[in-house]
Amino acid sequence: MKRRPFVLKFKPGCKDAGLLTLSGLWNEVRRALDRQGIANFSVWSIQDFLFCYGEFPDEATPSASESAAAAAWENALSPFCEVFAAQDTLPLMYHDIGIVREDKSLIRHRVFATKLKPGCAEEYKRRHDGLIEARGDKVSEGPESNFTIWNANGYIFGYCELVKSFDHEMTDAEKASTIAWETRQLEIMDWLTDDVDWITGEKHDKMQLVCQQ
């Protein structure tokens, strides 16, 4: 299975019409995804971006009819948005796959977006590589699962499935650790979503789920 996200960006003033068009197409798109064996596909919106995440078979070869369906979807959305970062062009910046829950009723999503400051992509990756190195070969049961972070032309998009059975109120130690990490991250990026508003006192929009398979 391959995780293959991509990002679309709405043209100025076209977001509402584009979302309405996508909603009308969704049942057809979902059937096409199922026929191709594409799983866990979801579309998320923040500002003028659509972050699209899906898990594709290793040897996915769409039929002529499936390719035509994809082309029809793209054509229908083309008046409203354009490709910002195509599939297989987003570098993977971090991963913590852990134990993936096939039953998605056991998880809740955390999907987020930030914008890297100029020249900071390498430092962002270096810091997250340090987290992977510290984890070593350990496979965590939670709370984070199926967690990947991607770089879309200087914009960061993260997809994470949080295991509900691990939900709890943060301890003082966890709060202190989170504040220290996120404050340091503000040196190299700015948030688009509201994940750290509780730390900074700023106001950002929530990531919105648009469609889900």
Asked if 9 and 44 sit in the same domain, the reply is yes
Domain limit, last residue, from 63, 85, 107: 85
Residue 55 included in any domain: yes
Q: What is the CATH number of the domain that holds 72?
A: 3.30.70.1090
Domains in the chain: how many in total?
2
Q: How much is the pLDDT for 73?
A: 79
Q: How much is the pLDDT for 176?
A: 97
Short-list 187, 137, 145, CA closest to 166? 145
Residues of the chain with pLDDT under 70: 60-70
Q: How much is the pLDDT for 81?
A: 95
Residue 212 included in any domain: no
Kindly report each contact of residues 17-23 with a partner whose C-beta sits within 8 Å and lies 24 or more positions away, as own/partner: 17/79, 17/80, 18/77, 18/80, 18/81, 19/45, 19/210, 21/76, 21/77, 21/80, 22/50, 22/77, 22/210, 22/211, 23/210, 23/211
The 10s digit of each residue's pLDDT in 157-199 is 999 999 999 999 999 999 999 999 999 999 999 999 999 999 9
Q: How much is the pLDDT for 138?
A: 84
